[in-house]
A and B are shown apart, each in its own frame.
Chain A
Amino acid sequence: MLDWQSAEENGSESLTQHVSRDRLHVVSSKVPVWTRLIRIWTYRALLLSLVRKELSVKYKNSVLGFAWSMLNPALTLVVYYVVFQLVLKNGMPQFAIFLLCGLVIWNFFSTALSGATSSVVANAGIVQKVSFPREVLPLASVGSSLVFFFLQLIVLAIALVVGRDVPAFSYLALLIPAFVDLVILAAAFSVFLSAVNVYYRDTQHLLEIVLMAWFWGTPVVYAYQTIAVPLARHHLGWAFFLNPVTAIVITFQRVLYAKVSPVLATGSVMKILPTGSPLWFLGQLAIVFVVSCVLFVIALSVFGRMEGNFAEEL
């Protein structure tokens, strides 16, 4: 399952840098965020190792193995499709593709966060015995979720081909900043939650509930405009964007689902996505980017402050 030799060749440059022999390693309760980032970077080989470990352990004794990571969204999709399209008859054209665009993002976000939250506690054995930048543990959860994210993108790609859906090519480039935002945002929450969970073990239970509420507060199952239009009537259009995941999800939907206000068979127009230009989307993503980066720095410094007592608290 794990092929280290080839990984080493593929990853060539990124893995050959050594942990510097002349580097002065300072153990102190006050280490600036910048130094922490450098330290994490020198341990990126560990990050890869841990991601590999998580991947190979996760489906170790299961027959279907990695297929589960693709079956999971596929089956969720079927459930939502039956409930919303067939039972509740929401009438959205190509609902499956719309749903998948949001689901892959949400799945990544929620698995990264819930995996990361317990990561430090779950690895108590090594935290108490080995010295390494502990941020690597939650980040490895983000990393392994990222692998599943790409596997689920395959499901999405298949759905696009089967549904003969044409992406909006003029918006295509937006996928890159949206993806970057998503990863930084997930990393920020992951690092923060993993540290807090060491002191308050409720965090992981609370997170389950919060994630469920958060999911329904994100336009994944329903269309953005379903909520945004009534909100705008009360001049609360901005409120939707208090949820940083919204901008990322609607960008993915805008690019891959690409139906802003389709005309239905009945002749009526259905408002689904915001009508903004690529620049409008970019603006939204830029705000999320800044917010994510600030959150990440805060998370790192909170983590740094709490880290000193990890070995004792566990």
Chain B
Amino acid sequence: MTNAIEIDDVSKIFRLYQEKYSSLKERVIKAGKIPYQEFWALKDINISVEEGTSIGLLGHNGSGKSTLLKCIAGIIQPTKGEIRVKGRVSAMLEVGAGFHPELSGRDNIFLSATLLGVPVKEIASRFDEIVEFSELGAFIDNQVKHYSTGMYARLGFAVAVNVDPDVLLVDEVLAVGDESFQRKCIERIRLFQKEGRTIVFVSHSPELVRATCEEAYVLDHGSVIGAGDPGAAIAALRESLQAGAQVGGAKISEPGKEAEPKAVKVPNVELVSIRAVSALEERPEHIFPHDPLKVEVGYHARSPQLGTSVAIQVFSPQKEVIFGANTRELGIEGFDLDSDGVVEINFEDLPLLDGIYGVAVTLIDSGGNPISWLEDRAAFQVVNPSRVSGLVALNFSINSYSVPRIAN
């Protein structure tokens, strides 16, 4: 196996100016004394990716994962070091980048694909496929400026995935588009994996990385702090999140001064996984309204933790809390947790309609303090086969009767 991507000792320093002087006059007046701070967005990164593997880059905001992806894509150059990428690279950092509003969808397909380095002949042969994927149909000859946001995104994605890349770089562009289109995109990415293409995936969502990638790297303040199979990497990410929970966002290190390593307080009990699944054996893949739902929370306790309570929250597709419960407040007796185990929460009847819902769980010690939680929520999708709409599956009955008019 050869390496598709070799990242060799790459560092990237951004200069953060207090003020930006971009006119000549200001530069002359302030010559040489424009105050700036150096910010190490990436620091001595070494990663090699074998051909045909999918890797995930994880990290919180400002950890440098997107910067690294842009470096691999060649959009920005590293300050030090070198990146070697073999084959054709297609980067999906933003869908529809390079579209010109005055041109038709058709012309934009050609423009955008040549921008990605695809020869015109190849685009022409894939043209129908791109149009089909974008579901634009006859609108393809309309000016892009008349497209809706969704149409724009679909066309952009259709081009990006149809350029036949050897190396696909995906930033969190999947957030655009409606659900069915998102699913289509993920299917396409899975197809790429089957075809043996190399994929680098940047995500906030460890679960997506766990589900799609074979390897994952965790970045924190520009350095790789964890690597390996997604499970191990996600554990490393959690530790860094817990350790740096108070810091929040990027930290600017003083020039010439190393960031001090933070003391990591290891909690006694840790949540390691959470999933929400249908409790019905006859159709485990779909959850219908009023189906039972089972939430399984895996934990690891370093020593026995007595009287642990559980707080659970259910989120709507719009990320609002629609249900919250704390077993301690409900007077339910705490659990004694030891070594590895699972806490199972069962909802017998889920009165929800279609959408992707989230579940979050926090462990609470006997004193009422939270001890462990997962940054990511388990997601479950409710599919609604009936014709009612909305968020809550209300049971109702309807009838009609006439009221006899009372004469005065």
Contact = CB atoms under 8 A, between A and B. Distances in A.
Q: Do A and B come from one complex?
A: yes
Interface of A: 2, 4-5, 7-8, 11, 15-19, 21-29, 42-43, 45-46, 48-50, 52-53, 56-57, 60, 125-132, 199-202, 206, 307-313
A200 B97 contact: no
10 A-B pairs closest in CB distance: A308-B77, A129-B97, A131-B74, A27-B83, A126-B98, A202-B24, A49-B114, A46-B114, A28-B82, A19-B117
Contact of A19 (B22, B74, B88): B88
A24 B120 CA distance: 22
A312 B89 CA distance: 21
20 contacts: A4-B110, A4-B120, A8-B120, A15-B120, A23-B86, A28-B82, A46-B114, A46-B115, A50-B111, A53-B107, A129-B75, A129-B97, A129-B98, A130-B73, A130-B116, A132-B115, A206-B24, A308-B77, A311-B75, A312-B76
Contacts of A201: 22-23
Interface in B102-126: 102-103, 106-107, 110-111, 114-122, 124
B119 A19 contact: yes
B183 to A, nearest CB: 24
A125 B97 contact: yes
Contacts of A18: 119, 122
B192 to A, nearest CB: 15
B23 A202 contact: yes
B87 interface: yes
A29 B79 contact: yes
Nearest to A21: B87
A17 B87 CA distance: 15
B77 A29 contact: yes
Nearest to B27: A200
B151 interface: no
Contacts of A56: 102-103, 107
Contacts, number: 146
Interface in B159-191: 166
Contacts of A60: 102
A21 to B, nearest CB: 5
Given A25-B87, A29-B77, A131-B89, 10 more contacts: A7-B120, A19-B88, A27-B78, A27-B84, A45-B119, A48-B120, A49-B111, A201-B23, A309-B76, A311-B70
B376 interface: no
Nearest to A126: B98
Given A28-B82, A129-B94, A200-B22, A21 B118 contact: no
B81 interface: yes
B265 interface: no
Nearest to A47: B114
Contacts of B73: 130-131
Most buried by B among A5, A23, A56, A130: A130
Range for the number of chain B residues in contact with chain A: 35 or more
Contacts of B363: none
Contact of B76 (A53, A126, A308): A308
Interface in B1-51: 14, 22-25, 27
A235 to B, nearest CB: 36
Contacts of B79: 29
A108 B120 CA distance: 28
A8 B86 contact: no
A5 B124 contact: yes
B91 interface: yes
Nearest to B117: A19
A129 B14 CA distance: 18
Nearest to A127: B75
Nearest to B104: A2
B86 A29 contact: no
A25 B89 contact: yes
B88 A131 contact: no
B131 to A, nearest CB: 14
B121 A8 contact: yes
Contacts of A43: 114, 117
B57 to A, nearest CB: 16
Nearest to B25: A202
Contacts of A311: 70, 75-76
A209 to B, nearest CB: 13
Nearest to B87: A21
A56 to B, nearest CB: 7
A312 B121 contact: no
B100 interface: yes
Contacts of A42: 117
B72 interface: yes
Contacts of A307: 77
B121 A199 contact: no
Contacts of A28: 77-78, 81-83
Contacts of B110: 4, 49
A17 B119 contact: yes
A128 B73 CA distance: 11
A52 B381 CA distance: 46
B91 A21 contact: no
